[in-house]
Structure 1
């Protein structure tokens, strides 16, 4: 319990710092004037485009889950929406755990395996965000050493993570042997079996990385997803009295979404707004207009999917207690059988020298 409140406190503190950096020196009355004069009819097409992107996310997740189970998109879409709602109302992207929890409950897919596919999603999202930054910079150069540092650091992290996942997917037996060797030497006996069970299920979820065609489809879908989200940025821009190039919005999209990987208060308060305002200001947009635009964009990204997520949550007969248990328990314990097939594609069976909990 104490660690939960500590994590929340750290997130709120980071959000507060970003909010302070974004709003210092601003005349809030000018921001209010910009908000009042905006043409909010442009939010209608922006929301429609955003839900196209959410549908594309659903298709991508279906592709990642196919080695485990084929799930109709109509059943998978509500799970994705509830997960993003969870990200918006809980700190530390807890909606990802919620997605895995619901998929296990409704479809019988191992939560550890589905979580692996969600981690792969995030890695590809990060790589595409970095691609957007690199593509946009020649057309919309940004004189900021801080952002260049973030891009270099992010490139190293996401590329490193992808290489590690590739290695685990290609040689799962070696990874499991290494995990078992470390567990036997570093963990007490009562924790070894749950950890090894989790690792086995997680590796199974990386099976999608062994298919070259699947990888290409996942990458192309990720590009489509984030292009659609940038189109949303473009529509919302038309509600305000400024214009920047589409490439500048691509760069803004990449920077703010990289920033939201930092711990923050629920809803990415501050970590989305501060970098977004800073990027637009560097392109010469009036700070008050940049603030009004970024706050409106944030609300247009947050509110529709959160409301739809609440609707699907009620329709699925999920209560707040279920969500709290999914977030707090994470994947420490897991019920349900391992999906057919072990990480290397053979029939799943516990190793003879250890007992695997199911």
Structure 2
């Protein structure tokens, strides 16, 4: 299979899956269900939706501030405007091509702030590792709050977490073996890869060299508190979901977070996953679907709007460079 075809499939397949799941969700509802869903969306209290959007936007600002803390140990301090716009453009790019946003983000800083691509990309990889750790922490907290409920749900779906952990362990061992041989190679092409990876490593280790570790931890906790807060605020927009507690919100949040990685921007999967969890906790399907679609649509529109504005304004912001 050619590289061009593989690249196209990486774009087309997730989009196709997303469209299929939208169609599937539609087919799984009766005309009466669809009427109730639309009614819930129309009658939602959009004051809470706007507050949720504000929380989402604030999380992007905090991510931009945190990024500078990671770049400082390497001698770089980009302007906050460039950081923020690079992040918003990255989220927009990920809606079209999964994982392309990270490349766009590092390229933007390389172009306008002269941060070497490999070092900038290394800090982004470090961010992703930290974000994964935070997500796992939320999963653990959710599991501790309702262990019996979550384990019953996994058992019902046939998910065995032990196999997943063993697979990750095997991948980790294979990666260590690969690094060992890469460090000893004399093949020119592999030496270039080694040099690139060392640049990434410098970006990754910048976390341990930063002066303001407390601020970094504070921003990280703040970002994830705002992520959960977006869910918490949206619940008040629909009468039936307004009584949801932290246990149910965390479970729906975790489902949505994992769903985001399956298709471009979580199209089709995100509302379905969130709705399934809420229905599992006793919310009607109409209200669960409405919650999922309001949450996904509002956040996606925010990314499209601010990402597009950032893309257009970025060259003017850096006109003197």
Q: What is the rounded CA distance, in whole Å, between the counterparts of 1:206 and 1:162 in structure 2?
A: 17
Deviations along 1:6-40, one digit per CA (max 9) or x if unpaired, are 21233134424544564453232221122122122
Change (3 A) 1:115 1:44: same
Distance in 2 between the 1:160 and 1:209 partners?
A: 26
How many angstroms apart in 2 are the aligned matches of 1:193 and 1:273? 45
- The question of 1:102 aligning with 2:108 is answered yes
Q: CA distance change for structure 1 residues 23 and 162 in 2, over 3 Å: closer, same or farther?
A: farther
C-alpha distance in 2, partners of 1:256/1:221? 22
Distance 2:88 2:214 in 1: 24
Instruction: Pick closer, same or farther for the CA change 1:274–1:214 going to 2, 3 Å.
Output: farther
| Structure 1 stretches of 4+ moved >6 Å | 150-165, 212-216
- The residue number in structure 1 matching 2:225 is 227
Whichever structure has more helix as a proportion of its residues is: 2
Secondary structure at the counterpart of residue 120 of structure 1: helix
2:226 and 2:120 map into 1 onto residues whose CA distance is 25
* Alpha-carbon distance change, 145 to 215 in structure 1, aligned in 2, over 3 angstroms: farther
TM-score where L is the length of structure 2? 0.81
**Paired residues for 1:1-358 under 5 Å:** 1-16=4-19, 18-19=21-22, 22-27=25-30, 28-68=34-74, 69-88=76-95, 90-140=96-146, 141-142=149-150, 143-145=152-154, 149=159, 178-182=181-185, 184=187, 189=188, 191-211=189-209, 218-242=216-240, 243-262=243-262, 264=263, 266-317=264-315
Q: Displacement, 1:246?
A: 2.3
Q: Secondary structure at the match of 2:29?
A: coil
Residues 314 and 273 of structure 1: CA distance in aligned 2, closer, same or farther (over 3 Å)? same
Q: TM-score, normalised by structure 1?
A: 0.74
Could you tell me which runs of 5 or more consecutive residues in structure 2 were left unpaired when the two chains were aligned: 317-321
Q: Say which SS state the counterpart of residue 109 (structure 1) adopts.
A: coil
Q: Distance in 2 between matches of 1:272 and 1:183?
A: 46
Contact 2:21 2:268 in 1 (8 A): yes
In the TM superposition, what is the alpha-carbon distance from 1:156 to its structure 2 partner? 7.1
**Structure 2 counterpart SS, 1:238:** helix
> What is the Cα deviation at residue 108 of structure 1?
0.9
Aligned CA distance change for structure 1 residues 255 and 126 (closer, same or farther; 3 Å) = farther
Q: Which segment is superposed worse, 98-107 or 299-308? A: 299-308
Contact preservation (8 Å) 2:73, 2:209: no
Quote how far apart the aligned CAs of 1:150 are.
7.8
CA contact (8 A) 2:72 2:210 kept: no
Structure 1 residues 156 and 296: alpha-carbon distance in aligned structure 2, compared to 1, 3 A threshold: farther
Q: Which moved more, 1:238-247 or 1:93-102?
A: 238-247
What SS is found at the alignment partner of 1:285? coil
Q: How far apart are residue 295 of structure 1 and its match?
A: 0.7
- Gap runs ≥5 in structure 1: 168-173, 319-358
Deviation (angstroms), 1:157: 7.9
Map Cα deviations across residues 116-140 of structure 1 (whole Å, 9 max, x no partner). 2111211221221121122123434
What secondary structure, in the 3-state scheme, does the structure 1 residue paired with 2:301 have? helix
Paired residues, what number? Answer: 303
Aligned-CA RMSD value: 3.3
